[in-house]
Chains A and B, each alone.
Chain A
Amino acid sequence: MFKLEKTDQTLLIVVGILTLFAPFILNPFPEGSAMAQFNAGYPDLMQRFVIFGIFAIGFNILFGLTGYLSFGHAAFLGVGSYAAVWMFKLLSMNVIPAIILSVVVAGLFSLLIGFISLRRSGIYFSILTLAFAQMMFALAYSVLTPITGGETGLQLALDDPRIFGASQTPEGNIPVPGLFGLEMRDSFDLVMGSWVFTFNIGYYFCAMVMIASFYLAIRIFRSPFGLMLRAVKSNQQRMNYTGLNTRPYTLAAFVISGMYAGLAGGLMASMDPLAGAERMQWTASGEVVLMTILGGAGTLIGPVLGAGFIKYFENIFSKINSTILHEWFAFLPDGLEDFIVAILYPFIGKGWHLTLGILFMMVVIFLPGGLVEGGQRIRSWLQKRKSEKNTPNGSTEPAE
């Protein structure tokens, strides 16, 4: 099926199932319970998980395969969202043309920037991409305000001259992005006992796009083209000595990953029609680097895991405040409660950056291959235990 090898096929199916059932998986705790704070199954965060997943998958095609570390990838996500919002403003509220345009625009930008930056390698390449992205951010925030909205971001307005579709809804509001009548923000709830599961159209749209992008990434990884990119990573010089020009291959990888970023940007704008310049800042580019390395660069599933990890932290941990902490530990005697809250408080809520920083360091120090390596270690540990069980005397040494 899908022209994939068996393991890849299993991976794709697992990812597909996980994304489709995400509303269940991410809401394991009953509504109203103390643990409900950790539920992540609401539309906005689920959308972010898959959108940043797409972004990281694309980034991994460049970094994981060729080893070229781009520090300006967020710029393509940024131009993608600007393109999409302009499409909403001028053409129609349908997400399809908006997303197509954002992919195309991001592709053009990445072609230009990639063509220039790929003349250098190593850290010189990284700094070139960083410089381009920072220039785009700085200009979008200031002088280009008429095009980008500057500080307040590019937004829809009540008087947008939309060619297809009305400028305003009959109630006098701004229309919302949709797909042939299906509004992206629409969702419905499934209530089972004290659990509530939310199914959101926008999320499922993004999820479909992500599964397709993931499939495409697998095909790229397994193709001769992917093999060529890996060869570039392991020894570009030797490739060049064999008389092969590697530039077209790396440029193609750069443009593909730029288009992935544009796709993510377009989806972001489709879920929430606003495009801000901060999306292009170096910290945003750094974030996707962190996601990829944290999850496991060069692996298929790693970047998606890393994206989920970081976004979960940003959105769930930052919302825990001292009142919630006190509620959790209310069963303890007062002195002990205050003590535990005082110890935990610096690490959560407004201290979520600190915890994230510590976790980064932990992962990098102990799991050089990222979260994927962690998973592999657990699996091999389990297998070892299982095999130990199977040998009754506990000895696995070969007979002499």
Chain B
Amino acid sequence: MSKTDVSRRGLLKTGAIAGAGVAMPTIFTAQSAHAFTNEPTGGTVTLGFNVPQTGPYADEGADELRAYQLAVEHLNGGGDGGMMNTFSSKALQGNGILGKKVEYVTGDTQTKSDAARASAKSMIEKDGAVMITGGSSSGVAVAVQALCQEAGVIFMAGLTHSNDTTGKDKRANGFRHFFNSYMSGAALAPVLANAYGTDRKAYHLTADYNWGYTTEEAVRSSTEAMGWETVAAVKTPLTQTDFSSYIAPVLQSGADTLVLNHYGGNMVNSLTNAVQFGLRDKLVNGKDFQIVVPLYSRLMAKGAGANVKGIFGSTNWHWSLQDEGSKAFVKSFGTKYGFPPSQAAHTCYVQTLLYADAVERAGSFAPCAVVEALEDYEFDGLGNGKTLYRGDDHQCFKDVLVVKGKENPTSEFDLLEIVEVTPVAQVTYAPDHPQFSGGALGTCNNGA
């Protein structure tokens, strides 16, 4: 009756010691029946999609989930294949991954690191997921990335913009396709100098947590390098909803530009409040007062409504891009769901494809093999032009978009317009750049 190892589940499979009950540590490491954690043995492979389904980022999570479902469909040969047709690597056949049909489990991160880890753990321990992906904040990404390193599965980060994810908190089993604070700063600064001149006085409002700190630092250093002066930088609590008391003193400081290092609900509210105060109608130091939002997302733009008009920011990807990859993705996503995908959806879709492709090329699901296949891998056709997955920190290097709130949107999705596609060379930095110092990648972990 009793047979060993029929399932695809379990952390640290231990073979036939069932019932022996002698919990000697050696048994667990030496006699593993599996080469690595959750090695898929049947005809299917399970991926874990860990996205916020409750809480303020639930809509962003829902869009990520749509993209994942689309990616799974394409990987299994359904639909029109989307970006698989434009991807420079042709390893993917549309027959799943390594011939195994792709299945998935979903979980709710609640945008809390504890809940996200609990959800990821259940995917690894209960459902036998061999890769975890998703998330909508850097806190969650860093926490889950560390967990995946420990458990010996691959983590393909979703939306996470903090430098720390591939900086001081980088891990060998974790990969980020999304861009980061440094890149936002580097891409924005020249455009801002162009549009607003090089002698601006900037006032920063910064969300009082890690992502806010790295973004402020990045934008400050790149704008100061252009000749801007930073008048003040004030930290605002995460739980703040009304930013009036922080916005009110901006004009008194003599600043003529306001930089809002906020994301999500914080950004929607602070931008709404700033526009409410009529800051953009003012003339300071003989210049029009301007507002800058370093990180844009379409959902945030939607929340802020007409307030985003004419405001500069950066974004990872936008559906109006006209390259073949983007067009193919927008077409299959739009046909399936009826509206264009967000940047979060794009990065999640691409991450899934990249993972599948790396497994195909490596010929194995083993995390270390996947890591090797992804490190210093160059590809094209996934919407951001030629892209490099750098081996030193597992960060993707690609073009970054500088966008502006559109003056005359034609639909509720058409809120941003691309001002400039900043070439990759301009946003590339050395692996040991001070903004990314500390921490070490470590070595890849196969787990069990």
Point out the residue from B28, B106, B142 that lies within 8 Å of A349, measured CB to CB.
B106
Point out the residue from A45, A315, A353 that lies within 8 Å of B54, measured CB to CB.
A353
A192-B2 in contact given A44-B125, A142-B237 (Cβ < 8 Å): yes
Within 8 A of A (CB), among B409-435: none
Contact A272 B6 (CB under 8 A): no
A191 within 8 A of partner (CB): yes
Point out the residue from B58, B118, B235 that lies within 8 Å of A44, measured CB to CB.
B118
Contact with B along A241-285 (1 / 0, CB 8 A): 000000000000000000000000000000010101011000000
Query: Within the assembled complex, what's the spacing in Å between the Cα atoms of A42 and B143?
Result: 20
Point out the residue from B13, B114, B445 that lies within 8 Å of A279, measured CB to CB.
B114
Q: Which A residues lie within 8 Å of B119 (CB)?
A: 315, 318-319
Query: Within the assembled complex, what's the spacing in Å between the Cα atoms of A191 and B17?
Result: 10
A192-B1 in contact given A141-B209, A319-B119 (Cβ < 8 Å): yes
Q: Which B residues lie within 8 Å of A176 (CB)?
A: 150
Within 8 A of B (CB), among A182-211: 182-183, 185-194, 196, 198, 201
A43-B210 in contact given A48-B118, A173-B442, A174-B442 (Cβ < 8 Å): no
Q: Which B residues lie within 8 Å of A181 (CB)?
A: 25
Residue ID in chain A nearest B22 by CB atoms: A188
Contact A276 B122 (CB under 8 A): no
Residue ID in chain A nearest B72 by CB atoms: A323
Query: Within the assembled complex, what's the spacing in Å between the Cα atoms of A186 and B25?
Result: 8
A152 within 8 A of partner (CB): yes
Query: Within the assembled complex, what's the spacing in Å between the Cα atoms of A150 and B228?
Result: 30
Point out the residue from B7, B112, B238 that lies within 8 Å of A191, measured CB to CB.
B7
Query: Within the assembled complex, what's the spacing in Å between the Cα atoms of A45 and B118?
Result: 8
Within 8 A of A (CB), among B119-135: 119, 121-122, 125-126
Q: Which A residues lie within 8 Å of B5 (CB)?
A: 191
Q: Which B residues lie within 8 Å of A397 (CB)?
A: none
Contact B105 A319 (CB under 8 A): yes
Within 8 A of A (CB), among B1-38: 1-7, 9-14, 17-19, 23, 25, 27-28
Contact A31 B143 (CB under 8 A): no
Residue ID in chain A nearest B441 by CB atoms: A158
| Distance between B391 CB and nearest chain A CB, rounded to angstroms | 15
Contact A138 B14 (CB under 8 A): no
| Distance between A30 CB and nearest chain B CB, rounded to angstroms | 10
B115 within 8 A of partner (CB): yes
Contact A191 B210 (CB under 8 A): no
| Distance between A316 CB and nearest chain B CB, rounded to angstroms | 8
Contact B27 A274 (CB under 8 A): no
Considering residues B11, B17, B107, B142, which has the most beta carbons from chain A within 10 angstroms of its beta carbon? B11
Within 8 A of B (CB), among A13-53: 31-32, 39, 42-45, 48
B276 within 8 A of partner (CB): no
Q: Which A residues lie within 8 Å of B13 (CB)?
A: 189
Point out the residue from A44, A142, A188, A191 that lies within 8 Å of B27, measured CB to CB.
A188
Known contacts A186-B25, A193-B2, then 12 further A-B pairs from the complex at CB < 8 Å, ordered by chain A residue: A44-B122, A45-B122, A155-B143, A155-B146, A173-B445, A187-B28, A191-B3, A192-B1, A276-B113, A314-B118, A319-B106, A350-B62
23 of the cross-chain contacts (CB-CB < 8 Å) are A42-B122, A142-B237, A150-B210, A151-B139, A151-B210, A152-B138, A153-B113, A153-B143, A155-B143, A158-B442, A182-B23, A185-B11, A188-B12, A188-B14, A198-B10, A274-B117, A315-B118, A315-B122, A318-B54, A318-B107, A318-B108, A350-B58, A350-B61
A residues adjacent to B (C-beta < 8 A): 31-32, 39, 42-45, 48, 138, 141-143, 145, 150-153, 155-159, 168, 171-174, 176, 181-183, 185-194, 196, 198, 201, 272, 274, 276, 278-279, 314-315, 318-319, 321, 323, 349-350, 352-353
Name the 4 nearest CB pairs between A and B, nearest first. A172-B443, A350-B53, A151-B209, A44-B121
B residues adjacent to A (C-beta < 8 A): 1-7, 9-14, 17-19, 23, 25, 27-28, 53-54, 58, 61-62, 65, 104-108, 112-115, 117-119, 121-122, 125-126, 137-139, 142-143, 146-147, 149-151, 162, 164, 169, 208-211, 213, 235, 237-239, 439-440, 442-443, 445
